[in-house]
Structure 1
């Protein structure tokens, strides 16, 4: 009897570690509680494909943000120089800034889709592995006789 209870407790504990991640307005949630990007990254390490997609999305976000920030900085600094001195405005700095901002648009455009596919991949891997714990395949079943656990070794 003790072994049966121990096995049942171990099986139900595996459900508590399998937590689905949801994405809402760019924020990550587990069981309705918001988690940080770092915690999300740690949760995704169990699935190689999800980890790779998440890292690609974050690197796209970094490079796109770099180009966007550089473009805004170049454009605003050239505008300030044009306003406070007798230099003809716009100069090459403005054109370089606008080009940098234009380059950032396609870089930033695919990051959300990659993050969503990483989260979907992770959640799918949870659903596939939730019924297997140390070589024991189990399912919760219900029929006319009641509710129970079906174990397959």
Structure 2
């Protein structure tokens, strides 16, 4: 007897349109959403349109010593932002409490601004208002900014 959740070897959820998959993925953490890209060829790209991103360097795990964890976090944020494929970001929270990761907040802010972010939160004791990129001040889509 064939499993009712499959048809021709493909699960029913993989047949949903990208917009619906993206909506479903929006309920996951960014890390979990990106993790779905390994499920199958069909799941390689839907995570790129997830509208809310939350990055926090205190949640670094599975990378070994402290500097490896920081570098894993930096690489992860860079990778996620580089693979957005132009999809808009509704909400983004960048929380960096390590000096090494905070050094990247300027470029990450510019990257989320380029994705037409609407709400942006930057939490860092090492990042000051004077370090904000000019693009943040001229962003037409930004509705809310907080620290």
Q: So what's the TM-score if we normalise by structure 2?
A: 0.28
* Higher radius of gyration, 1 or 2: 1
Q: Give the structure, 1 or 2, with the largest relative contact order (CA under 8 Å, sep 6 or more).
A: 1
Q: So what's the TM-score if we normalise by structure 1?
A: 0.27
